Structure 1
Amino acid sequence: MTDHGFDFHTLTPDVQLNAIESVGIYPQSGLLALNSYENRVAQFVADDGQRYVVKFYRPGRWSNAQILEEHAFCHELAQADIPVVAPIYREGTSLFTAEGFRFALFPSVGGRGFEVDNWDQLEAVGRYLGRLHQVGAATPFQERAKFDLDSHLYQPRQVLNEASLIPEGIQATFFSDLDHLIDAIAARWHTDWPAIRLHGDCHPSNILWRDGPLFVDFDDTRNGPAIQDLWLFLNGSRADQLAQLDTLAEGYREFREFPADQLQLIEPLRGLRMVHYMAWLAKRWQDPAFPRAFPWFADAKYWEGQVLAFKEQLATLQAPPLTLYP
């Protein structure tokens, strides 16, 4: 299951420029590469004076139907006055193809970084996520994937087993502790929640701050429990997380009932993300961009640290789940 295939080596600047011009937009500046590894993303200024972002999708990851469903969701959110960056339509479509690459164009928008420790901003994020989930709950995705143990836990476990990146001296301990963590997550996982359309990867770096939050990068949008879009804002001590959770809930409740019955999923979801992230790096390691960007991933100290992280997450899973203030 390791990705031996694609490293974007044929996506040259000329290919990118020709692709953009094929849909009637003509760059007048160079392409400024933006921070993206799964896909290739660049910003440019066109001859109409507008700034755009072009996103070239990694082949084989999503089907055309899945990408178009993502785009349609973004437009549905934008039409509901929820601040998202939606793709641009040209001649009735938002997904284009050139020389074997699929790509989309977006308006380039600016903004400051979202301040996680700013209570007013955190409450506003909760408010807008309540609105986003209102729209997301109207109807589920038909093509996009769903949060489940297979895609985020069992398949990643297989990827790590096949990747041959873990130092031989700690392999037995690593996989033993990983399997203990997997068993603990599976024992606490349940699917007794409505599957709604989510942002899917709603961490602070995917929010820009203007007059309020602006949600970007819906590449990982999928069906799942509402709490998935909320727990990534929780950090620090348990007391810190309780205060953050209460602030998010205060804003969220203005538009939608807060999913308090899903709080027990927070630590299982944190464990899923931990395992899935390692497997994502391992699966993409043949792409030269990944060793350059994540050199520590090949260091034995990283894998030793993950063994400790497994133990810490296992202990957290055994603690009582977070609860809202009464």
Structure 2
Amino acid sequence: MSDQPFSQRISVSPLTQIDQAAKQILSANVLPKKLTPIYQQQIAKLREMCEKRIQTYWPAQLRPVHGDSHRSNLMLHQGQFHLLDFDDCQNGVAVQDLWLHLTQTESPRQQLSEIIEGYENYLPFETRELDLIDVFKSVRVINYAAWLQSRWSDPAFVKAFPWFGSEEYWLNHLNELKNCELEWGNISR
């Protein structure tokens, strides 16, 4: 592991990701028209909250991160975990990868503490990054909907995700965005 930024990879930009994903969704006519103003309002609110967090807690220097370090990209082999799927590697912040390993437990702070302890066996962890967890959660929720939308023209995809175009999906998505707003700070504090 190195803390020297990649020279040939992108750097994470949460606000750009939010803007691009929201623009893609709004221009694709998949969101029911009656939900469009509610969606725009919710995105604007989350974007503003993210911007404030970024201005306050963004580190001075980005470092190499996996970029998509979730459980499906881990493989256990002979008692050791190995990361897979490095196509999303980028310059970012450590918490960008670490929060994805939190599970719904009764003690997420304890779990987070253990994850950070393991991380610090390789590199120091900047605790101020903890206040960016909700930024990355929000980005992930918005980007997932945009990812689904971008594949909606593939007939195999439509069969695999038939619920995507429904009003129920978008109501659930709006609720998930609202939950991002409500969760701000619950884990890191």
For residue 75 of structure 2, give the secondary structure of its aligned residue in structure 1.
Answer: strand
Q: 1:174 aligns with which of 39, 48, 51?
A: 39
CA contact (8 A) 1:197 1:224 kept: yes
5+ residue gaps in structure 1? 1-133
CA contact (8 A) 2:66 2:97 kept: yes
One-letter code aligned to 1:245: L
Deviations 1:212-255 (A, max 9, x none): 10111111111101111101011325x52111111112222222
Q: Does 1:225 align with 2:93?
A: yes
5+ residue gaps in structure 2? none
Deviations 1:103-150 (A, max 9, x none): xxxxxxxxxxxxxxxxxxxxxxxxxxxxxxx32x13x22332211134
Residue of structure 2 in register with 1:199 after alignment? 66
Within 5 Å, which residues of 2 pair with 1:1-326?
A: 134-135=1-2, 137-138=3-4, 140-190=5-55, 191-210=58-77, 211-236=79-104, 239-317=106-184, 319=185, 322-323=188-189
Percent same amino acid among aligned pairs? 30
Residue of structure 2 in register with 1:35 after alignment? none
One-letter code aligned to 1:258: F
Structure 1 stretches (4+) deviating beyond 4 angstroms? Answer: none
Q: What displacement does 1:263 show?
A: 0.5
One-letter code aligned to 1:263: L
Q: Per residue, is there more helix in 1 or in 2?
A: 2
CA contact (8 A) 1:152 1:273 kept: no
Q: Which has the higher contact order (CA 8 A, sep 6+)?
A: 2
Give the root-mean-square deviation of aligned CA atoms.
Answer: 1.8
TM-score of the superposed pair, with normalisation by structure 2: 0.89
The verdict on how the C-alpha distance between 1:290 and 1:143 changes in structure 2, with shifts beyond 3 A counting, is farther
Aligned length: 186
Q: Bigger radius of gyration, 1 or 2?
A: 1
TM-score of the superposed pair, with normalisation by structure 1: 0.53
